[in-house]
Amino acid sequence: MTAEAARDQPHTNSVTARWEGGWRCRVAAGGFDLVVDERESSGGTGTGPMPTEYLLTAVASCYALALAWAAGKRGIDLPGLTVTATGTYDGPRFSRLQLSVESGAPPDVVEQLVEPALRVCYVSNTLALSPPVEVTVAPSAPAET
């Protein structure tokens, strides 16, 4: 494949979840092994974050990194930067996602970074644009005899 053809190919990233029974999965992501589970009160074993907590983790961490990038481009220091993501449940989805930013920098300094960071945060951009979820089913492997 030529360099030009490679540039025209969409960049992708994948993770693989393997169900371990009950409400628990093990996920291979970027060379890391993650556990996903539900709380015991919901029938899980409570041995890992819930899927929705990983979604909130993704948006909070991506936005924190985007803020740090936007600040760095402008020579701004963000001491003690933290981003908290809160999702409001509405049936089987979040009806609202809210990001709360804290830093030792003055609020007016942080506020000027909000929009530039939103523009480069892959996770918040993906959620805002709501791409369709496409599901394919792989053919089953032949039974061993």
Give the model's pLDDT for residue 85.
98
Quick: pLDDT tens for 64-120: 999 999 999 999 999 999 999 999 999 999 999 999 999 999 999 999 999 999 999
DSSP run (H or E) holding 91: none
CB 99 within 8 A of CB 88: no
The domain ranges of the chain are 14-49, 50-130
**pLDDT over 80 at 6, yes or no:** no
- In CATH, the architecture of 50-130 is 2-Layer Sandwich (3.30)
Give the model's pLDDT for residue 10.
84
For residue 111, the SS3 value is helix
Residue 80 gets the label, from left (phi > 0), alpha (psi -120 to 50) or beta, of left
Band the pLDDT of 3: cuts 50, 70, 90: low
Band the pLDDT of 139: cuts 50, 70, 90: very high
CB 94 within 8 A of CB 44: no
Query: Which token pair is 108?
Result: 């007016």
Distance of CA 107 to the CA centre of its chain: 25
The model scores a pTM over 0.85: yes
Quick: pLDDT tens for 7-50: 777 889 999 999 999 999 999 999 999 999 999 999 999 999 99
Give the model's pLDDT for residue 67.
98
CB 24 within 8 A of CB 48: yes
Backbone angles phi, psi at 27, to 5 degrees: -120, 130
CA distance 67 to 30: 23
